[in-house]
């Protein structure tokens, strides 16, 4: 199969590696020569490291490298069967590239976008044949993260969807199909992990280290929310939250936090700037978490129930199947368990009681219990 990748930055170069490893002939296009050079040099480094680790041999490295050609003209993608675009997150630029591309490729070529926050419908609208357009959303780093969200727009044909799902599975990835709504599955369902943790901090209930420790120790999350936000970058994480909040017509459940906004404004971006919620400069010490077990439990249960409520509501609104919602969170962001399976384990009644207790305390729409949880509780049902 011939695959075109547009944009050779972080995501595009990773996607090209995935496709080339799976045996596709990949044309990686970027308007910026230095981005192409960097992608090529990075791949050399990544593959050499895999050889050192004994994961691949020299022949495999050569095979993968020779499957990728680095091209500087959009015209060079004219023979491909599938194009995945991973350029700047700007609707008008993506639309311009898509409509130019459509004049060069065959009638049957599928044109996909790796966008994280734009609607696939709006991107597809730039095409004469919008039924060939779809969202294929990889996670960073693309070669390592197993999950790919596939997002059909209202215009997308069944044939396009089916063909994409098969291709992505052939590339060794796990597919979750999501509705074309803000944040798709992962970036929507994960919001309370950050948002509720920030809220707990802002209320003065606990500091960053205590909240992180409680979610790691009691929840089994690999990283605490503040460690993770520092890792992602407060600027990037804040922007995703703000975009999702706006896209949901300002639903208070997705309200961004001033704490994170101020950190971002101050340039405390996290690891990459040496300081975020924690100090990453040499010699700095991590503050110790509070060892109050009751407080720890309270924090963990509050964040967990908000995550479960978000996952249940995504199911209620038919964003994805229960299986795909759980797969997305375990394979896309390495949650220790799927949230719906976790709800079954904690008990649906427990979830409803916790949400109602939060709502009673705050009287904020943010804490409204998903109607699905309430209905399941009444009918004594479980998710699986």
Residue 346 has which token pair?
């904690």
Angle at 209 between CA 203 and CA 212, to 5 degrees: 90
From residue 261, give the alpha-carbon distance in Å to each of 102, 237, 239, 266, 267: 40, 10, 9, 9, 10
Pick between residue 30 and residue 180 the one whose CB is nearest to ligand NAI.
30
Pick between residue 35 and residue 56 the one whose CB is nearest to ligand NAI.
35
Distance separating alpha carbons of residues 253 and 189, to the nearest angstrom? 11
Q: Residue 78 CA to chain centroid, in angstroms?
A: 30
Question: Min. distance of Cβ 175 from ligand NAI in angstroms?
Answer: 15
Question: Min. distance of Cβ 115 from ligand NAI in angstroms?
Answer: 4
Cβ–Cβ under 8 Å, residues 126 and 111 = no
Catalytic residue among 8, 85, 102, 137: 137
Question: Min. distance of Cβ 114 from ligand NAI in angstroms?
Answer: 4
Residue 222 has which token pair?
């690999």
Pick between residue 89 and residue 251 the one whose CB is nearest to ligand NAI.
89
Distance separating alpha carbons of residues 284 and 136, to the nearest angstrom? 41
Question: Min. distance of Cβ 112 from ligand NAI in angstroms?
Answer: 11
Distance separating alpha carbons of residues 270 and 336, to the nearest angstrom? 24
DSSP H/E element including 176: strand 174-177
Distance separating alpha carbons of residues 72 and 35, to the nearest angstrom? 11
Q: Which residue in the shown chain puts its C-beta closest to ligand NAI?
A: 9
Pick between residue 79 and residue 345 the one whose CB is nearest to ligand NAI.
79
Total residues found in the chain within this entry: 384
**Footprint of ligand NAI (CB under 6 A):** 6-12, 30-32, 35, 86-89, 93, 97, 114-116, 138, 140
Pick between residue 97 and residue 120 the one whose CB is nearest to ligand NAI.
97
Burial class (CB in 10 A: 0-12, 13-18, 19+), 354: buried
Catalytic residue among 13, 187, 257, 309: 187
Catalytic residue among 8, 119, 126, 149: 149
Pick between residue 58 and residue 100 the one whose CB is nearest to ligand NAI.
100
Concerning whether 8 is annotated as a catalytic residue, the answer is no
Question: Min. distance of Cβ 95 from ligand NAI in angstroms?
Answer: 11
Residue 6 has which token pair?
């547009």
Question: Min. distance of Cβ 319 from ligand NAI in angstroms?
Answer: 18
Catalytic residue among 8, 27, 113, 116: 116
Cβ–Cβ under 8 Å, residues 138 and 145 = yes
Distance separating alpha carbons of residues 55 and 49, to the nearest angstrom? 9
**Max intra-chain CA distance, the chain:** 64
Concerning whether 363 is annotated as a catalytic residue, the answer is no
Which residues are known to be catalytic?
116, 137, 149, 187
């Amino acid at each position: 199969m011939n695959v075109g990748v547009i944009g050779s930055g972080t995501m595009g170069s990773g996607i090209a590696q995935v496709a080339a490893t799976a045996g596709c002939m990949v044309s990686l296009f970027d308007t910026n020569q230095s981005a192409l050079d960097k992608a090529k040099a990075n791949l050399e480094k990544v593959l050499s490291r895999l050889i050192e680790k004994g994961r691949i041999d020299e022949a495999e490295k050569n095979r993968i490298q020779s499957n990728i050609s680095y091209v500087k003209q959009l015209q060079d993608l004219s023979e491909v069967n599938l194009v995945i675009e991973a350029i700047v997150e700007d609707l008008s630029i993506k639309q311009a590239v898509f409509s130019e591309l459509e004049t060069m490729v065959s009638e049957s070529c599928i044109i996909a976008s790796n966008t994280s926050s734009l609607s696939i419908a709006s991107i597809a609208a730039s095409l004469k044949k919008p039924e060939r357009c779809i969202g294929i959303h990889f996670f960073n780093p693309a070669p390592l993260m197993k999950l790919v969200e596939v997002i059909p727009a209202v215009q997308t044909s069944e044939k396009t969807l089916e063909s994409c799902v098969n291709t992505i599975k052939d590339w060794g990835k796990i597919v979750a199909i999501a509705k074309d709504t803000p944040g798709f599955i992962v970036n929507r369902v994960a919001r309370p992990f950050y948002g509720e943790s920030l809220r707990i901090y802002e209320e003065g209930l606990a500091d960053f280290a205590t909240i992180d420790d409680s979610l790691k120790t009691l929840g089994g999350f690999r990283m605490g929310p503040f460690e993770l936000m520092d890792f992602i970058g407060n600027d990037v994480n804040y922007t995703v939250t703000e975009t999702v909040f706006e896209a949901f017509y300002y639903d208070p459940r997705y309200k961004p936090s001033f704490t994170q906004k101020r950190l971002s404004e101050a340039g405390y971006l996290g690891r990459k700037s040496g300081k975020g919620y924690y100090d990453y400069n040499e010699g700095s010490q991590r503050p110790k978490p509070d060892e109050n077990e009751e407080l720890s439990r309270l924090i963990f249960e509050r964040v967990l129930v908000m995550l479960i409520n978000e996952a249940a509501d995504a199911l209620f609104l038919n964003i994805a199947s229960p299986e795909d919602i759980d797969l997305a969170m375990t394979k896309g962001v390495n949650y220790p368990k799927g949230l719906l399976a976790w709800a079954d384990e904690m008990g649906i009644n427990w979830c409803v009681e916790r949400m109602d207790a939060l709502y009673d305390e705050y009287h904020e729409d943010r804490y409204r219990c998903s109607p699905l949880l309430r209905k399941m509780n009444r009918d004594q049902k479980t998710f699986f």
